[in-house]
Structure formats: structure tokens, C-alpha cells
Amino acid sequence: MVVFLSLLLIVPLVGFLTILVLGATLRRARTIALAFSVADTVLATVLLLSFLGSWFDPFVG
């Protein structure tokens, strides 16, 4: 559970740094931002499901 909370903070920061380094064009920067946004949303969804029901706990750890 602690790993997911940490990743919710780390993923946007890494996304920001990745955009600064690799986002030379606007299209590439948007694609990178979208990818990190989707990853962060998936992590938040997994964390929400683990709070809502105990049936999801084996997947989270």
C-alpha cells in the first residue's frame, strides 16, 4: 500500500522531468504527458479499489 502512495507522488514528478528532457516538440510532450497521466490514473484506481473492498487486497499487497 505504501508503494502505491509513493508512486502517486513520484509518477507525476518523473513525468514532468521526462517532458523537460524529451519533450522537444509539442506533440511529443503531449504524448508523454498523456502516458504519465494514464499511469497515474491507473495507480489511483487500484488504490481506490483496495480501499473500497478487501477483495482487491491480494493484488495490492
7-13 long-range contacts (CB < 8 A, ≥24 apart) are: 7/43, 8/40, 8/43, 8/44, 8/47, 11/36, 11/39, 11/40, 11/43, 12/36, 12/40
Considering the chain, what is the average pLDDT of its residues? 90
| 8 or 1, higher pLDDT | 8
What average pLDDT does the segment 37-44 reach? 95
Domain extents in the chain: 23-48
pLDDT score for 44: 92
Confidence of residue 46 (pLDDT cuts 50, 70, 90): confident
Confidence of residue 55 (pLDDT cuts 50, 70, 90): confident
Read off the pTM: 0.82
Please give the Cα distance from 4 to 41 (Å, whole number).
12
Nearest-CA neighbor of 40 among 18, 16, 61, 9? 9
